[in-house]
Amino acid sequence: MRHFYMDTNVFISRWKQDDPYHSEAKIIVSSLQKGELSAYTSVLALLETASVAGRFYSHHKKDKGPEQRKMFVIKILRGLAALGVKFIHLSGDIPIQLGNAKVDMPALLADSMFLSFLTGLRTLDLMHIAAARHAKQIDRKELGAFVTGDVELMAGKDEISKIIEMPVLSPKEYVRALGLKV
């Protein structure tokens, strides 16, 4: 279980002192930095992290313009990349027949759309679930958990665990299961 799928919110929670999983997220990120843990995540995590970092900069820093915001966001993205996380990207298009129309859809979006038939999750959550399923196919033996602080994903964790063939755990549950400490 030391090899896991990391939802974006785990990385982001470590900077947000008021986040309910702040302490555990710091432990997880620190363990990734030390090489004690390894993780997969979707390339979507880069976009989500950039979006949150840009908003964080605008709200909490003295905004000195777009160049400073850009440098801040790049610094945060480099921090994520420095964790050695493997980024999942489903390449290629899948042809989807919708009545008389044929749509070529990127593989990650197509798999996410098909997952919407099984669960009522939001778009970005569906994309993480699709990426986690792909990561599990790549690393069937080692990938041990999907770690998320997302309330909706945690509410549906039994259903999602069956879909991705691994347990869905909160950062607190994950840290406790591995016996990680600061």
Say if 82 falls within a structural domain.
yes
Instruction: Look over the chain and give the mean of its residue pLDDT values, rounded to a whole number.
Output: 93
Q: Looking at the domain assignment, is residue 134 inside a domain?
A: no
Residue 39 lies in a domain: yes
How many structural domains compose the chain? 1
Q: Could you tell me if residue 121 is inside a domain?
A: no
In a domain, 170, yes or no: yes
What per-residue confidence (pLDDT) applies to 182?
A: 62
Is residue 15 within 8 A of residue 91, CB to CB? The reply is no
Does residue 57 sit within a domain? yes
Domain membership of residue 20 as a residue range: 3-89+143-178
* Domain assignment present for 167: yes
- Does a structural domain hold residue 124? no
pLDDT per position as a tens digit, 80-114: 999 999 999 988 999 999 999 999 999 999 999 99
Flag whether pLDDT at 62 surpasses 80.
no
Using CA atoms, how far apart are residues 169 and 21, in angstroms rounded to an integer? 12
CA distance 104 to 98: 11
Predicted model pTM: 0.93
